Structure 1
């Protein structure tokens, strides 16, 4: 009796292990489109308010916030494509802390190189004032990105890659 019982338990256990779990929550292109749309809409509103809070005109602030958002999206796509192309040619694979730091500095340095002169020109301020403004935005976006990602994942579920289950 005992062997029949353990055999039944064993086979049902294997069946449960063999069946992959289903992915839950919003996934794929719909998730990415919603993510970028919400992230950037909130970023445009808050950036506009930040620019106005430091004395810029509302109309100038809105235009700069939209321009910065478009630049950020285009730069993100371009930079990550180029970084991943470079990364694929490296003999050492994986994402070490050093590689992640290089990625972050490259991304933020590139966007700053585009936005600082644009902000200086658009707001008619010095490059130094624009650099200080960009540094403030960088600090804001670090906190905002963390909070947004946490809230988005709580509302829409984790992406499949973070669930550890097959799609």
Structure 2
């Protein structure tokens, strides 16, 4: 299916020269003078090579047909990550380079959206937020209640983030999976 380059977004899959590419980042640039362009960074699905392309915003780009389905995360081994289709109980193995840095936020039985081309997983979308426990942070400083500064903390998945001063070790917090930033204290 052909679409204009300016409509391409992160996570889309593009077919170019007979190969499939997953979009890592897409930016529309409108210079003061000249033609607006779409700067698209892509990763070739077959071998993981990253390329950067620049299209005029009105150029036609071939968008691959992708099927998105919910899958349940099972486990990780040396071959990659294993997911199960909750309807058919079919298991799918996803290579580590497809999951990428999002691997730190995967939790057992988490429901994720897998994008498949034919039977090959090409990209993964995690829930926006995930609840994790703070395993290491600085102690609470008395009287520092109205401060807007964050202190460093290490979460149970090993990711470092900034948390408000009132958060202590053992506190469960909600973080954004996109960038690991603190959202709120968990309500459980």
Q: TM-score scaled by structure 2? A: 0.17
Q: Comparing both structures, which one devotes a greater share of its residues to helix?
A: 1
Calculate the TM-score normalised by the size of structure 1.
Answer: 0.18
Higher relative contact order, chain-length normalized (CA < 8 Å, sep 6+): 1
Larger % of strand: which?
A: 2
Indicate the structure (1 or 2) with the bigger Cα radius of gyration. Answer: 1
